[in-house]
A and B are shown apart, each in its own frame.
Chain A
Amino acid sequence: MNNIIGYIIIGIGVLFNLFGCIGLLRMPDVYCRLQAATKCVTLGICFVLIGVVVIVGFNPLGVKALICMVFILVTSPTGAHALARGAYKSGVKLWKKSVCDKYKDKESK
């Protein structure tokens, strides 16, 4: 029974990862792509790891999976933030239909 629930949760996780990848292809510029990539992939990986915990139970392997989850939740947004900032500093333009850009004011000061 645990196996079936675990596999379903892993399946949901893989589905989220798939949507993240589709987003990565469809979005127009770097920043929007980062949005799709970080959110969907983070939750997708979390679901996969939760599925692993459900299947193996609370033994050493399960605890490792939980710790990996915490680390991914902490590092993934930090990495996205660093990429976005780096992209902006090195002059990657926003999409031409973007509504506003408050960051430019600060940079030009």
Chain B
Amino acid sequence: MKRFTLFFISYIIWILLVLPLDLQTLILGFFVALIVALLFGKEFVENYKRLWHIDRLFWFLVYIPVFTYYLILANLDVMYRVLHPDLPIHPGIVKVKTKLKSRSGRSVLCNSITLTPGTLSVDIEGEYIYIHWLNVKSDDVDLASKEIVEKFEKYLMKVFG
């Protein structure tokens, strides 16, 4: 069942990629998706049934505009720092804590952190993430978590539980 879900998703992506459809590409895509499903079925998300929960998908759709807003904010922030003649940066590596439990949730969180203002996730160890911060406001674990993680966590908690 897990493999079937992966097969289904990879087949859809294949179809979108080759879009002017004909029979040849459809058959080829079937076999490619089959191979992908057989090889990587085990490494696919732990709890595949969650993929089809409507409320999770809904919260993920809510998450996209929030993420886009912070992505654009991040770019304006970096742009300001880069163009400023004095280069106003105070870099450092801080440690933050996340409440997310699932592996996929944590990796989405890390990716979101990397793409938002002045932060870049370096390593993850259990529930602690090490983050390179361009403008360190506090090196305390709790305060830094509040500043960096919380704005995404409340949405991702609803998506990944």
Q: Footprint of B on A, CB under 8 Å? A: 16, 19-20, 22-23, 26-29, 31-32, 34-36, 38-40, 42-43, 59-60, 63-64, 67, 73-74, 76-78, 80-81, 84-85, 88, 94-95, 97-104, 106
CA distance A20 to B77 in the complex (A): 12
Known: A19-B82, A102-B95. A42 touches B16 (CB 8 A): no
**Contact in complex: B122, A84 (CB < 8 Å):** yes
**Contact in complex: A100, B136 (CB < 8 Å):** yes
**Residue among B16, B74, B91, B111 with max Cβ neighbours from chain A (10 Å):** B91
CA distance A76 to B71 in the complex (A): 13
Picked from A27, A32, A74, the residue with its CB within 8 Å of the CB of B111 is: A74
How many residues on chain B are close to A (CB under 8 Å)? Answer: 40
Q: How far is the CB of A81 from chain B (nearest CB, A)?
A: 5
CA distance A35 to B74 in the complex (A): 10
Besides the contacts A16-B79, A74-B111, A85-B123, what 7 more A-B pairs have beta carbons closer than 8 Å? A35-B120, A81-B111, A81-B121, A81-B122, A85-B122, A99-B90, A100-B136
CA distance A26 to B93 in the complex (A): 20
Can you list, as one digit per residue, whether each of B18-29 has a CB less than 8 Å from chain A (1) or not (0)?
Answer: 011000000000
CA distance A73 to B99 in the complex (A): 23
CA distance A31 to B139 in the complex (A): 17
Q: How far is the CB of B43 from chain A (nearest CB, A)?
A: 15
B89 at the interface (CB under 8 A from A): yes
**Contact in complex: B19, A77 (CB < 8 Å):** no
**Contact in complex: B79, A94 (CB < 8 Å):** no
Residues in chain A near residue B139, CB distance under 8 A: 99-100, 102
Q: How far is the CB of A14 from chain B (nearest CB, A)?
A: 13
**Residue among B17, B20, B92, B125 with max Cβ neighbours from chain A (10 Å):** B92
Known: A40-B79, A100-B93, A103-B123. A35 touches B118 (CB 8 A): yes
Picked from B19, B83, B136, the residue with its CB within 8 Å of the CB of A63 is: B19
B159 at the interface (CB under 8 A from A): no
**Contact in complex: A35, B95 (CB < 8 Å):** no
Q: How far is the CB of A40 from chain B (nearest CB, A)?
A: 6
**Contact in complex: B71, A43 (CB < 8 Å):** yes
Picked from B75, B81, B112, B136, the residue with its CB within 8 Å of the CB of A16 is: B75
Known: A40-B78, A63-B16. A31 touches B72 (CB 8 A): no
